[in-house]
Amino acid sequence: MLLAPLSPQRSTAAGKGYWTRLLTLLAVLACVTRAPSFLRPLWNPDEGYLAVQARILARGGQLYETVVDRKPPLLPWLYEGTFAVFGSGSLTPVRVLAVLAQLATAVLLASIARRRWGDHAGRAAGTLYLLVSVGLNPEDAQAATFEVFILPATAAAMWCADRRRWGAAGAAVACALLTKQTGGAVLLPVIWLFHRSGAPRAGLLRLAAGVALPVLGAALLTDPAGFAFWTVTGSGAYASFTGSELHVTARALTNTAILATACAGLLPPVARALRTARTGAGDLWLWLAASAAAVTVGLHFFGHYFLQLTPPLALLATAALQVLPRERTTAAVRVSACVCVPFLAWGLLAPRPELAHAQRLAAALAQRTQPDDRVLVWGIHPETYWLADRTPATRYLTAGLLTNFSGGRDGPQVGEKYAVAGTWPVFRAELAERPPALVIDDSRGKPYGPDRVPTLRRLLTAGYTQVGEVDGAVLYARVPGG
């Protein structure tokens, strides 16, 4: 007996029921997987950097002028806007936005999968993505930093391209790019989809305009020359890893192994699809390859970089599972859920010694200075400024921009001569105009300590005296008249 086709009204009702149930499931799962992120005031220095930037911008600062970073402006602006509404004393509102970003990514992936392979695939894609999204060191997976906010934009770009909405796809690529430069990697699979669609050339113009206009607007809203320098042209030394080959290789292998463990439920079907080539998902393979290239660019391999791999992996696994028995999908979800549990426990229970150090340092800083004093923390933990609620004495929030240590290098290419071009004259002028009331040397034996940075050593010798020590960090107070 043949079944009669569903009427449009019944089909729409069925679709609404599907999305109501799936959104509820994914929302609960997003909240559960992100729960550890709310247990600590911050997870890594990137969150601290963004929080300090946002406070400076809120007080009238100018991005790429009075505060600088190698990143595009979208996430600092998001932090600034969130602080304007909810105050700057807590990252909880930003963490809520991170939950929503993960939920949006899962929903977009589910929509792509459902359009291509049906209802069951939509549920699998969204669920698998959220389960593996926490599969890294929690300081990488749980932090509300750049990669988390790249992901919904990249997924939106693929969603729009899948529906031939080329202008919107370009705008989504621009949002990813303006969150972090590597987000622009999704442009490659979007162009591939455009080519395969046979769309007229006008669609390519809409795609190009969608990418270019937001980027141009962001450059004009900041400073075009500063925007270009800090996001593109000024990071040559940062991308070199000469002398740090073993250090960087070990980090790459470690984070690859951690993510592979988290993806234990996804990798077998993906590997099978690679062998049989039956998924017909060329755009997804290109998305994965482009994301892998984005992880590799700069040769740093920090754990949070690997988050960019998780959306295409989830979709590829879903595609591969469609040609396997239905129970294989259930098994993939079950394995992913089981593996997710220890990662959540890691986030809930693991100690964060660097956070405890920054908190003790911030307490000492707040005790020895006044709220309107400017201070200098010579280290790679800008969160100290935020925790102490003190204004940095310089636009360079870490020693990394002045020594090239911010890339996590342990080799010889650390020191004044490897700094971002032009930074030291500006740094000296800032400290001469408004000398910091307190300087904290938080290098703790790292290769950017004052003994290897002559300019800082002369500054401390000429105008400061040691007044204390916290966990190996040395505090220097300004000598009257110094």
| Model confidence band, residue 13 (pLDDT cutoffs 50, 70, 90) | low
pLDDT at position 4 is 38
pLDDT at position 362 is 96
Candidate from 103-107, 286-290, 359-363, 477-481 with smallest mean pLDDT: 477-481
Is residue 352 within 8 Å of residue 40, measured between CB atoms? yes
Kindly report, residue by residue over 202-212, the tens digit of the pLDDT. 999 999 999 99
Mean pLDDT, rounded, for 255-268: 94
Return d(Cα 148, Cα 46) in angstroms, integer.
12
Tell me the helix, strand and coil percentages in the chain, rounded to 5. 70, 5, 25
Hey, which residues does 469 pair with through a beta bridge?
474
Kindly report, residue by residue over 416-426, the tens digit of the pLDDT. 988 999 999 99
pLDDT at position 237 is 56
Mean pLDDT, rounded, for 359-380: 95
Query: How many of the other CB atoms lie within 10 Å of CB of 66?
Result: 16
**3-class DSSP state for residue 331?**
helix
Return d(Cα 129, Cα 103) in angstroms, integer.
10
Token pair in block for residue 437: 């009331």
Is residue 130 within 8 Å of residue 332, measured between CB atoms? no
Kindly report, residue by residue over 223-250, the tens digit of the pLDDT. 999 999 999 987 765 555 555 678 788 8
**Ramachandran sector of residue 114 (left: φ over 0; alpha: ψ -120 to 50; beta: rest):** alpha
Residue type, 215: V
Is residue 465 within 8 Å of residue 477, measured between CB atoms? yes
Is the per-residue pLDDT at 5 higher than 60?
no
The dihedral of CA 271, 273, 274, 279: what is its sign?
negative
- Give residue for tokens 């800090």: 230
Mean pLDDT, rounded, for 244-259: 88
Sorted by sequence, the CB contacts under 8 Å of residue 337 that are 6+ apart come out as 131
Which contiguous run of DSSP H or E holds residue 468?
strand 464-470
- Helix H, strand E, coil C: the string for 347-401 is HHHCCCHHHHHHHHHHHHHHHHCCCCCEEEEECCCCHHHHHHCCEECCCCCCCHH
| Model confidence band, residue 279 (pLDDT cutoffs 50, 70, 90) | low
Candidate from 29-33, 381-385, 410-414, 433-437 with smallest mean pLDDT: 410-414
